[in-house]
Chains A and B, each alone.
Chain A
Amino acid sequence: MKVLSFNPERCIGCGICEDVCSETWFKVTDREKSRIRISEGENGSFSALYCVQAGDCIDVCPVEALSRNKQGIVLVKNKVCVGCLSCVGFCPYGAMFYHPDQTQVFKCVACGKCADACPENALEIVEIDTPRAPGLQV
């Protein structure tokens, strides 16, 4: 399946990916509405939180709002999601996000907009067989 991939050695922490993501999906520039979150570590390196399509969240959902499509991408059905945030707590990668402007959760669906915009090519869409933690796909 195609997933987002992050190379921490290339990331400079510019945040363009977060801006592009929130603009793509929420039509605003707001890091809190991005489906990828970049943070700086103690040694000056950067890490990223985003969905690797592991699907651990699917069985936790009480209303079957989470499912995997034919391409392997885990999707949130906004009309079904009751905003319980169970998936937020149970995602081992911290990659399911929420915002008080809406009740439903949101997550990376590997659309690739951030990868296209990344000036350092730290992000790309790759084909993998087994999901791994963010930053370890490559």
Chain B
Amino acid sequence: MSDKTTTILAEFAYTPPAVERGYAGQTLYVDVSTPSIAAKPVTEEMKEKFIGGRGFDLWLLWHGVKDGTRWDSPENEVVISSGPCGGITQYPGSGKSIAAAISPLTDVMIDSNVGGHFGPYLKFAGWDAIEVQGKADQEVIVFIDAPGGKVTVEAAPADAPTDTHLLGHWLLEHYAPSADDYPQMSFVTAGTGSEHTRMGCLNFSLYDRKRQDLRYKQAGRGGIGTVLRDKKVKALVVRSFPISGDMNAPADLSKLQAAGASIHKEVATFDPVQNHMRTSGTTYLVQIMDDYDLLPVHNFKFGRHPDTPKIKREVWEELLTQGLPDGCWYGCTVACAHAVDGYEVKTGPYQGQTVIVDGPEYETVAGCGSNCGIFEPWAILEINFYCDTYGIDTISFGTGMAFAMECYEAGVLDAEKTGGLELTFGNAEAALEVLHQMGRGEGFGLIFGQGIRRMKAYFAEHFGADPQFVQDIGMENKGLEYSEYLTKESLAQQGGYGLTNKGPQHDEAWLIFMDMVNNELPTFEAKAEALHYFPMWRTWFGLCGFCKLPWNDVVDPKNKLSPEPQKIMHHVENYRQIFMGVTGREIDYDDIITQSERVYNLQRVLNIRLGKGLREHDAIPYRSAGPVTEEEYLSRQERYDTQLREWLGLNPDEMTLAEKMAAHREYRMDRYEKLTDAVYARRGWTADGVPTPEHLKKLGIDYPDVLAVVEKHL
């Protein structure tokens, strides 16, 4: 090692096993308290029932935590696993990992989907998952050195930086034996912002061979970075072996190759005329959402804004470097992981530095942009860069900032309460200063960093806020900030956000177009079926190591002629073939859903075990279901008045504005309850949202300790 001078606190020697059919066959347990390191076997039951990825995370967490475990309990764990198909190179989007922990925002399990090289490299280093428990009494680095045949817990020297863009380079310098090893290295890091807030994210690195520099993808949701820093873990470092196309030792490589060649051709043919992800990532959504009145604007009050063209795809295409293979894993031709190179930082402690900004992705543009009334690309890039290096989730930051800005404009906050910051919509400088305060751990940034749920309580207790008003406009569910889609006119998507395990993140279900635009889900039962199938199908990506984007963000137009075009079955078939090709396990389409159902239901039971996970915890803020303020109602008065006539048989001409708003509220909240009933029934749950023993038995997860949890709630 170049100039590595760290002190070894614990060491575990091992011989990296050959990966067989997608599995290394063991998981890595690290207790940073003691510290101690151990290997745990991956059993056939784990593979059969929980597959990998989020399933393994859940299984390890289930056994690792106690009923009363909270985010900062020593026994809380940061768990990371890719999945059996993670690390294949033949199919785009096959290098994903799921990070999980008990969340500081929600007090239940959070699972966060992330790219980068860490998950596959961890497996190729001999570990299907890593489980980090305990709390260190000094700053530590966990180093998995596969070629060196050891895992170590090391004291991080005082000169090791914390913010990711600096720490990454420091780790390369100190942990890679030579520059030839850079491509085999990957890190999981957080940042100073993670230390001072509950919305800390994890950065997963990848070494970009063309740029010859580090890039990062974020496990953004739910504060896992906060948990990592609470454990005083500065970084997880893996050094793996040079990559090849058969590192997973698949049972039948031909299945992977056939699916891969087919999808790459589809991407090459249709992406340039569909979503342009190869040139501008997910930013194509910005203008589409605005066109359909779905782009969050001013804390989800509105769905469009005249300035949206300033932050639409074409603007980002100009800023993002073109012509590079920007996959977050080898072979991803969807290549959404673009970057702005040579960006000069304009504010804060790194002002004047020239950096790479990873992204921005749609969620960041919409959350930190339009939702906050910010339509200046430089400001969105600046927020994006600092969120990443400080280890802050851009979605929680954006949605949280939108909430704080509305509170400011509504008089709940003022300059005195914010320490002099004028948090009006569009004030990018003020938003950035809050972000820097989160990095420094001071001022209003400390209050803000607690997340919307705790801001609401704080504003009510200390600033005299009307609890109902802040509850109505604070876009969180279970304590997690909403991701960036307006749901007022899509009941199914209200359920897609609320009737969830981890909270309002669109990776469970994205049904707005099916429901609102195409009207394909006309009944509660149809919506409930969609809220069964799609969350289970999307869960499966996270069990196997896949990304969702190649499933439905580029599609051969012939799909429209298929019986169920929304399911894109010719892509589902690709995934089925790959799963069988890697693992050698024959599965059908129903098996895919059942595999997910096991994980989904056990995660629900874990939430119940932790004191949540019931119907009351699936409630949504009214802003996500209907107009909270008069301003909102009047902005869409024609639509809302028409709905009163058509849905409720009322005559709006004879009603006051307050009466009209009250009628909408009653109707909209009532239909959410009816949807909840239908979805719970479809999912095999009681009216209180508890998986029934019969359902758990059917799924083969009726373990005594699982049944003991649900039986208290029957």
B330 pairs with A62, CB closer than 8 A? yes
Asked if B257 lies at the interface with its beta carbon under 8 angstroms from chain A, I say yes
Asked if A74 lies at the interface with its beta carbon under 8 angstroms from chain B, I say no
A90 pairs with B268, CB closer than 8 A? yes
Contacts of B330 in A (CB 8 A): 62-63, 82, 84
B267 pairs with A84, CB closer than 8 A? no
A6–B503 CA distance with the chains assembled, in angstroms: 60
In the complex, the chain A residue whose C-beta lies closest to that of B333 is A86
A126–B518 CA distance with the chains assembled, in angstroms: 56
A84–B323 CA distance with the chains assembled, in angstroms: 18
Asked if B210 lies at the interface with its beta carbon under 8 angstroms from chain A, I say yes
Per the 8 Å Cβ criterion, residues 580-598 of B in contact with A are none
Asked if B261 lies at the interface with its beta carbon under 8 angstroms from chain A, I say yes
A82 pairs with B245, CB closer than 8 A? yes
Interface string of B235-257 (1 = CB under 8 A from A): 00000000111100000111001
A60-B325, A60-B333, A62-B330 given as contacts; is B260 within 8 A of A85 (CB)? yes
Contacts of A81 in B (CB 8 A): 245
B245 is contacted by which of A60, A61, A83, A89 (Cβ under 8 Å)? A83
A103 pairs with B260, CB closer than 8 A? no
A83–B281 CA distance with the chains assembled, in angstroms: 24
Asked if B265 lies at the interface with its beta carbon under 8 angstroms from chain A, I say yes
Asked if A64 lies at the interface with its beta carbon under 8 angstroms from chain B, I say yes
A61–B264 CA distance with the chains assembled, in angstroms: 12
Contacts of B210 in A (CB 8 A): 64
Asked if B437 lies at the interface with its beta carbon under 8 angstroms from chain A, I say no
B261 pairs with A89, CB closer than 8 A? yes
Asked if B89 lies at the interface with its beta carbon under 8 angstroms from chain A, I say yes
Interface string of A73-104 (1 = CB under 8 A from B): 00000000111111011100000001010011
B257 pairs with A59, CB closer than 8 A? no
Contacts of A104 in B (CB 8 A): 245
Q: Return A16 CB to nearest CB of chain B, in Å.
A: 26
Per the 8 Å Cβ criterion, residues 434-456 of B in contact with A are none
In the complex, the chain A residue whose C-beta lies closest to that of B255 is A100
User: Which among A61, A63, A89 has the highest number of chain B CB atoms within 10 Å?
Assistant: A89
Q: Report how many residues on chain B are interfacial, defined by Cβ distance under 8 Å.
A: 29
In the complex, the chain B residue whose C-beta lies closest to that of A101 is B253
B268 pairs with A82, CB closer than 8 A? no
Per the 8 Å Cβ criterion, residues 328-352 of B in contact with A are 330-333
Asked if B209 lies at the interface with its beta carbon under 8 angstroms from chain A, I say yes
B244 pairs with A63, CB closer than 8 A? no
A110–B331 CA distance with the chains assembled, in angstroms: 27
Contacts of A59 in B (CB 8 A): 323-325
B244 pairs with A82, CB closer than 8 A? yes
Contacts of B262 in A (CB 8 A): 89
A89 pairs with B244, CB closer than 8 A? no
A48–B174 CA distance with the chains assembled, in angstroms: 53
A82–B329 CA distance with the chains assembled, in angstroms: 11
Q: Return B168 CB to nearest CB of chain A, in Å.
A: 20
B325 pairs with A86, CB closer than 8 A? yes
Asked if B327 lies at the interface with its beta carbon under 8 angstroms from chain A, I say yes
A84-B331, A89-B268, A90-B264 given as contacts; is B245 within 8 A of A103 (CB)? yes
B243 pairs with A82, CB closer than 8 A? yes
A60-B325, A63-B330 given as contacts; is B244 within 8 A of A83 (CB)? yes
* A-B pairs with beta carbons under 8 Å apart, 15 shown: A62-B209, A62-B330, A63-B209, A82-B89, A82-B245, A82-B330, A84-B89, A85-B264, A86-B264, A88-B264, A89-B266, A100-B257, A103-B246, A103-B253, A104-B245
Other A-B pairs, 14, CB within 8 Å; known A89-B266, A100-B253: A59-B325, A60-B333, A61-B325, A62-B332, A64-B209, A83-B90, A83-B244, A84-B90, A84-B260, A85-B257, A86-B264, A86-B331, A88-B260, A89-B265
